[in-house]
Amino acid sequence: MASWQAAALNIALHLTIKRVMSRTGTVAATRRFVESRRRVRLPAGCEATPVKSHTFHGEWIRSPESSDRRTLLYFPGGGFMLPASAQITQLILRINREAGTRGLLVHYRLAPEHPFPAGLDDCIAAYHHLLDTGTDPRSIVLAGDSAGGGLVLSTLLALRDAQVPMPAGAVVISPFTDFTYCGESRTANDWRDPMLSNDGVLQMNELYLRGTPAEDPLVSPVYGDYRGLPPILAHVGSSEILLDDTRRVARRARAQSVDFDVEVWAEMPHVWHLWPFLPEAQLAVKRVAEFIRERTGGRHDALAARAAGNGEPPHAPGASNGRGIERGNGRGNAGGNGRAGGHGRAQGPADGKRTHGRPGAPRNGARP
């Protein structure tokens, strides 16, 4: 059962954000809404500095706890059309504090001005930037929410196909993974989802795809080949229209021997991690930080932090916490510490900008 804070937030979101995100809202109007709430005063000791790169736009987000030992590469959500809000910066700072990471927030190009694959190319360029500047891939964890969560999965598929060293792991929060809209939750949860509506997200097809087949695994990673990918942690709310976007990807990845851990949180709104006053958000951030520490060589620290944070004993990493979390994972041999097998190298475009490889379509045309 959700906390009273979450129940109150769900009502507020139904009456505000869901209306803005509906079909009646234009991209320009929604961007103005986000931009008006984008400025943020950083806490003492924290900083946000632009990345010096000609291949993508981004900024380093650091807190006093940040260390170069762990890097969080973050792709924000926004329906592939909206810029990162101030809440994203604050979320990265909270993860930094818990995990000891330095955060690289990627401001990828947005539709409709820059349809697919521009945003994906920028995410891939950001990962290459880290490697080119000496960051060990074993110290990198990719993370993203909503559309950014989908871009995390697409980026992993493209990196694997180009035979680029894999990161240590990935975190996807309420990811958007299917432009074919086949999951039952897209309609079954339409009235329950306090933030997103199916009609609202349908706008993304024409604005982002611009003729790209919706079944392309790099726009709909629910159809991807996940062999060779590193461990992935997914968080999603039980009432979200994107619930099946997560579950279907997880089923496909587990069938291909990838370690894909799904946590379904009862009655949580879309990307509830952004609301720090929610007890569930505080716990979810701790879970994300724990995963990052485990994947980047800090398992002992992660278990100790869990025991201190919510009372779970260090020997019980899968214990229930009473918040209505539904867990499931598949255990495979997909590591994240070297070159994973792929299907050939991606070809670069004429202007020299890095681009992606394209995984094959689903076998036999089967839907996951």
Task: Name the residues annotated as catalytic.
Answer: 146, 240, 270
> What dihedral angle (degrees, nearest 10) is formed by the CA atoms of 87, 93, 97, 100?
130
